[in-house]
């Protein structure tokens, strides 16, 4: 908020508290920055559920109501194509900048109209309309209603006003069909048809809006006893008539001129002396095509309103005359005594203009170039300078257009206004310019911003009333006893005896050549006491700065007095009064001709006229029930569904939403339902006061009374244990200013919320610390127990493994022993048997031995007797004799065993080995003879890993190999 607001004196009070509360309020305000800080993060999440922001139908439900949260909520809604949101007693309407299907249809109107509780429906402009309509029906004082639609240019005011009018034209007529269908339909139609006419004449394409209303309007829809629409009346404010003769860069003139240019028939063109392709100086950007350029619609509306063909022709002729005037240009005079001449190429335009305006061309030329000065009863003619001539030309065009517009409004009023006896109530729709702050601002902006200040004051008063009503509903004993709003700013602008307006009027009325610098000095001298005005001492341009509720605006003083005078040379009025055109004659007949020399404090100036009309408007507003609709333009480029935060926040400030937020902050900006409050802060009472026990209460079961008691106890506990620092120390009675318990909600100031949050935070950290300690203790215990268990398990497993191993060894040893013993016994017996047999045989054979062979010393069996085949050798023998060289010396381990087994002629079970021996197959001569030759052992490589390893008890041969080995052994 700007310094205007900072400087504003906010005085609110407690009904029982007295003046000390002021300090508290200042405290609240001084806490505003900390409010934002403290509301970040978790508390923000508690107060506002961001994911649910778009579901908030009312901005006052956003908790806390700060510009940021309000903005977030609006953005969230806009992104899901929800364009209307309540803001307490105000409706915020975001412009979608694209037609939204099914949003304004007849069915929707009927739905809202027939709903028992339209407020329960989604926010819509039709809710506002219906509420106002029901107020009239209910005849609750004040019965008459005012719908104030505000917002900046392009925000959607005209659109909204049209919607409202269509709504009433539909619902206020629907039940009256039986009565007098023709009449009613006609009046509705006429009321609606007034829009295209006024828009054609009063709207223009500007940089900010293609269909910008260049005037303010207040339309009263008149309702009869049965609340049926029987008529309407229009009051207009501050038409921007300068646009006729001077269009800002890249902007256009009023729509009607372009409509004529584009929609005229050949005949009309001839009549209007408007050749095809003719260029008019006052019609820039005529190549641009807008949907507003619909001449036929304007003509149709004129017909419906009763503007007959003749009148239409007159109107368009006059407008064509104005366009011709625009093409006139003057050359500078040779000497000052001579009037300026018209530039040659433009002489034709003067002729055409005179013909169209039905005035003598010579007189027209004279009026434009020569000034008549009154000196007593004598008149003196004074040639005008080139600039003066142009100014007079422009002035003529402006006065004609302004009068024509006024006449049209009057005609419309005559056409749609019901007889006073037929209507008893009205619903007024006010569509005014929004707050304006441009790079250069002059009298127009001063008037517009003054009107906005007036409306803001009215709004604030109304808003405070609404706030107070909520407090009353909630049973709060608290009131805004005094809220000094923007009165000081209004005093600065319009106050008496000294104000900006009064000084401007004085300058204008005294008719002295006013100099902008002198005026600035005068303003400074007279108004330096008012904190709402300031000056930039170093600025070259004479200006003054006003701190409006919506921001600071610099107003240039150059040309302001002249604009305020808005002088119309009397010669021009007289000329027009003499016109043969019935319309012009009629329009100017009653117009007073003021002499520029005339003095007088009652001389009508722009600001005096505007102030008067605004005052009568305010009087009407004060006697009606107001309904505010704030239109917001979400982006400056009029792009569909584009939301620019900076743009919107500025408008929220300008339309006073932020101001109302500040007002709320002066009261109890935070409102929390009891149940939610206890859920969040219940721990305070549990921890601060151990005697106090918070019992969870179900709101549905026990109701708000019990909840309230719980909350009160909790608050008492919180406040008792608050350690105040000396600066913030407040007595207990002042805590009433911090918090109030309503019927369903707790109302909190920011200070109280901070206090509660701090306490909650402290308790939460204590709790967190305790939880951490417990957790660590528990973790340590658990770790230790786990270690013990691990050791135990490890020991048990190890012993089990050892036992298992030992058992296996024992078993294996037993098997081996048994097998070994068995085999040894077998072999022994075999060997013994063989030895016995052999000895017997030897003895027999010895006798039969060949002496030759004996000599040779070789064992040779007799040819007649079959040699004995030794199938196996006793193991001892085998080991000791036959393969002694190879087996005992070279073979080891498994290999050795295999040799042994081969010697023993034990068959290979799986063909792991094959023995090739030159002795075995030979027939032995004698068992005692040493086996000759060598034994070749061919081992097949086993596919089994370690199959060639001797079973080694130290090594871990397991599984199948183990079994194999065991068996082999
Ligand atoms: N509810 C809406 N739905 C769709 N389009 C809209 C709506 N409201 C406004 N618009 C669009 O925005 C444009 C500007 O709106 P409008 O002319 O009503 O603005 P304004 O506030 O009256 O501006 P000004 O003060 O310049 O007259 C309209 O021409 C229309 O296209």
733-748: average pLDDT: 72
444 is catalytic: no
pLDDT in tens, 413-442: 999 999 999 999 999 999 988 888 888 899
Could you say which DSSP state residue 308 is in? -
Ligand 1: residue of 84, 92, 105, 154 to mutate (most ligand atoms within 8 A of CB) is 154
Using only C-alpha atoms, the chain has a radius of gyration, in whole angstroms, of 55
pLDDT at 564: 92
Cα(354)–Cα(358) distance, rounded to whole angstroms? 6
Who wins on pLDDT, 921 or 84? 84
Among 20, 38, 68, 153, which one carries the catalytic annotation?
153
pLDDT of 325 over the 80 cut: yes
Q: Per-domain residue ranges for the chain?
A: 3-459+614-666, 675-808, 849-968
Secondary structure (H, E, C), 714-768: HHHHHHHCCCCCCCCCCCHHHHHHCEEECCCEEEECHHHHHHHHHHHHHHHHHHH
Asked if the model's pLDDT at residue 917 lies above 60, the reply is no
Q: Is 170 left (phi over 0), alpha (psi -120 to 50) or beta?
A: alpha
Helix ranges (H only) for 417-440 are: none
What pLDDT does 887 receive?
Answer: 43
Residue with tokens 């422009």: 394
Say how far apart CA 319 and CA 256 lie, in whole Å: 9
Q: Is the confidence at residue 23, as pLDDT, over 70?
A: no
For residue 962, name the pLDDT band (cuts at 50, 70, 90). Answer: low
614-669 per-position pLDDT tens digit: 999 999 999 999 999 999 999 999 999 899 999 999 888 777 777 676 666 667 76
Atom 11 in ligand 1: residue holding the nearest Cα: 97
pLDDT of 763 strictly over 60: yes
Read off the pLDDT of each residue in 384-391 and give the average, rounded to a whole number: 91
Whether residue 300 is predicted with pLDDT greater than 50 in this model: the reply is yes
Predicted local distance difference test score (pLDDT) of residue 728: 43
The DSSP bridge partners found for residue 370 are: 383
Q: Which residues have C-beta atoms less than 6 Å from ligand 1? A: 95-100, 151, 153-159, 209, 211-213, 631
User: CB-based burial of residue 46 (10 Å sphere; 0-12 exposed, 13-18 middle, 19+ buried)?
Assistant: middle
Position with higher pLDDT, 949 vs 328:
328
Please report which confidence band the pLDDT of residue 89 belongs to, taking 50, 70 and 90 as the band edges: confident
pLDDT of residue 484: 58
**pLDDT for the residue 179:** 47
| Cis amide bond preceding 497, omega within 30 | yes
Q: Ligand 1 centre from 630 Cα, in Å?
A: 12
* Whole-complex ipTM: 0.99
Q: What is the pLDDT of residues 182-239, one digit of tens each?
A: 444 578 888 999 999 999 999 999 999 999 999 999 999 999 999 999 999 999 999 9
Residue 873: its pLDDT value, please? 46
CA of 943 to the centre of ligand 1 (A): 93
Q: Does domain 3-459+614-666 have CATH number 3.40.850.10?
A: yes
- Provide the mean pLDDT of the chain: 79
pLDDT score, position 55: 86
Tell me the best of 85, 93, 95, 100 to mutate to test the pocket of ligand 1, counting ligand atoms within 8 Å of each CB and taking the most.
Answer: 95
Shortest-distance Cα residue to atom 9 of ligand 1: 156
Kindly give the distance from the C-alpha atom of residue 164 to the centroid of ligand 1, in angstroms, as a whole number. Answer: 13
pLDDT at 367: 92
- With contact defined as beta carbons under 8 Å apart, do 204 and 226 qualify? no
Range with lowest mean pLDDT among 10-19, 815-824, 861-870: 10-19
Quick one: average pLDDT of 344-363? 92
Mean local confidence (pLDDT), 161-178: 79
Q: Which of 13, 231, 434, 682 is catalytic?
A: 434
Q: Where is pLDDT greater, at 16 or 373? A: 373
Omega before residue 64 within 30° of 0, cis: yes
Identify the band that residue 754 occupies on the pLDDT scale cut at 50, 70 and 90. Answer: confident
State which of 104, 129, 211 you would mutate to test the pocket of ligand 1, scoring each by most atoms of that ligand within 8 A of its C-beta: 211
Whether the Cβ atoms of residue 390 and residue 197 lie closer than 8 Å to each other: no
């Amino acid at each position: 908020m700007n310094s205007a607001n900072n400087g504003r004196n906010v005085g609110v009070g407690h009904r029982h508290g007295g003046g000390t509360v002021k300090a508290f309020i200042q405290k609240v305000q001084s806490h505003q920055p900390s409010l934002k800080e403290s509301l970040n993060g978790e508390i923000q999440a508690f107060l506002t559920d961001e994911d649910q922001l778009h579901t908030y139908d009312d901005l006052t439900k956003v908790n806390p109501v700060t510009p940021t949260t309000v903005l977030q909520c609006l953005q969230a809604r806009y992104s899901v194509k929800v364009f209307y949101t309540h803001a307490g007693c105000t409706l915020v309407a975001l412009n979608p900048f694209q037609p939204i299907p099914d949003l304004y249809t007849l069915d929707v109107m009927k739905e809202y109209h027939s709903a028992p509780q339209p407020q329960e429906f989604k926010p819509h402009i039709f809710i506002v309309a219906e509420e106002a309509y029901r107020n009239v029906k209910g005849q609750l004082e004040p019965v008459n209603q005012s719908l104030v639609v505000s917002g900046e240019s392009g925000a959607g005011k005209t659109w909204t006003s049209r919607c409202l009018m269509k709504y009433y034209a539909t619902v206020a007529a629907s039940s009256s069909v039986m009565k007098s269908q023709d009449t009613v339909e006609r009046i509705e139609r006429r009321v609606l048809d007034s829009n295209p006419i006024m828009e054609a004449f009063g709207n223009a394409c500007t940089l900010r809006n293609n269909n910008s209303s260049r005037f303010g309007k207040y339309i009263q829809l008149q309702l009869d006893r049965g609340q049926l629409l029987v008529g309407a009346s229009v009051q207009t404010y501050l038409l921007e008539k300068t646009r006729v003769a001077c269009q800002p860069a890249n902007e256009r003139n009023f729509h009607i001129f372009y409509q004529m240019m584009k929609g005229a028939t050949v005949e009309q063109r001839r009549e209007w002396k408007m050749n095809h392709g003719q260029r008019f100086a006052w019609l820039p950007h005529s190549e641009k095509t807008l949907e507003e350029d619909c001449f036929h619609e304007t003509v149709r509306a004129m017909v419906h309103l009763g503007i007959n063909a003749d009148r239409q022709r007159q109107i368009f002729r006059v407008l064509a005359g104005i366009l011709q005037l625009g093409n006139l240009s003057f050359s500078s005079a040779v000497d000052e005594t001579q009037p300026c001449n018209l530039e040659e190429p433009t002489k034709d335009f003067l002729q055409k203009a005179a013909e169209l305006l039905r005035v003598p061309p010579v007189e027209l030329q004279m009026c434009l170039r020569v000034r008549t000065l009154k000196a007593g009863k004598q008149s003196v003619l004074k040639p005008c300078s080139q600039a003066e001539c142009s100014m007079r030309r422009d002035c003529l065009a402006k006065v004609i257009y302004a009068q024509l517009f006024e006449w049209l409004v009057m005609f419309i009023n005559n056409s749609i206004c019901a007889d006073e006896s037929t209507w008893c109530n009205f619903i007024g729709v006010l569509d005014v310019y929004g707050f304006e702050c441009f790079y250069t601002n002059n009298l127009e902006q001063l008037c517009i911003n003054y009107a906005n200040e007036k409306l803001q004051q009215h709004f604030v008063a109304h808003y405070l009333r609404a706030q107070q009503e909520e407090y009353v509903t909630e049973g709060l004993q608290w009131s805004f006893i005094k809220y000094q709003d923007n009165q000081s700013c209004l005093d600065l602008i319009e106050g008496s005896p000294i104000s900006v307006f009064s000084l401007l009027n004085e300058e204008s009325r005294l008719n002295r050549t006013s100099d902008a610098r002198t005026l600035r000095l005068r303003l400074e001298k007279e108004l330096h006491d008012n904190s709402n005005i300031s000056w930039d001492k170093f600025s070259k341009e004479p200006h003054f700065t006003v701190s409006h509720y919506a921001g600071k605006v610099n107003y240039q003083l150059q040309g302001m007095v002249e604009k305020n005078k808005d002088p119309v040379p009397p010669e021009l009025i007289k000329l027009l009064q003499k016109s043969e055109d019935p319309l012009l004659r009629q329009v100017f007949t009653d117009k007073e001709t003021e002499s520029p020399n005339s003095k007088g404090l009652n001389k009508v100036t722009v600001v005096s006229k505007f102030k008067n009309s605004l005052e009568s408007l305010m009087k009407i507003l004060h006697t009606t029930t107001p309904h505010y609709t704030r239109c917001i333009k979400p982006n400056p480029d009029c792009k569909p569904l584009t939301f620019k935060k900076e743009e919107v926040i500025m408008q929220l400030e300008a339309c006073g939403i932020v101001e109302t937020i500040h007002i709320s902050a002066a009261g109890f900006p935070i409102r929390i339902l009891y149940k939610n409050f206890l859920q969040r802060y219940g721990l305070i009472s549990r921890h601060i006061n151990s005697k106090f026990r918070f019992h969870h209460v179900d709101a549905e079961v026990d109701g708000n009374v019990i909840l309230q008691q719980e909350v009160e106890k909790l608050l008492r506990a919180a406040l008792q244990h608050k350690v105040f620092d000396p600066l913030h120390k407040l007595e207990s009675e002042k805590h009433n200013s911090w918090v109030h318990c309503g019927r369903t909600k707790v109302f909190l100031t920011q200070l109280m919320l901070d206090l509660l949050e701090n306490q909650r935070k402290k308790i939460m950290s204590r709790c967190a610390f305790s939880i951490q300690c417990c957790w660590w203790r528990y973790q340590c215990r658990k770790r230790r127990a786990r270690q013990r268990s691990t050791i135990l398990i490890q020991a048990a497993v190890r012993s089990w493994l050892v036992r298992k191993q030992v058992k296996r060894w024992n078993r294996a040893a037993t098997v081996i022993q048994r097998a070994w013993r068995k085999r040894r016994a077998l072999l022994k017996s075999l060997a013994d048997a063989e030895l016995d047999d052999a000895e017997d045989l030897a003895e027999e054979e010895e006798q039969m031995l060949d002496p030759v062979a004996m000599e040779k010393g070789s064992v040779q069996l007799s040819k007649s007797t079959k040699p004995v085949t030794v199938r196996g050798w006793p193991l001892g023998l085998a080991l000791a004799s036959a393969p002694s060289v190879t087996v005992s010396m070279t073979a080891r381990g498994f290999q050795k065993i295999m040799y042994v087994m081969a010697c023993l002629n034990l068959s290979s079970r799986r063909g792991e080995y094959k023995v090739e021996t030159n002795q075995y197959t030979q027939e032995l001569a004698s068992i005692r003879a040493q086996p000759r030759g060598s034994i070749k052992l061919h081992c097949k490589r086993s596919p089994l890993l370690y199959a060639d390893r001797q079973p080694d008890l130290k090594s871990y041969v397991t599984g199948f190999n183990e079994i194999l080995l065991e068996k082999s052994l």
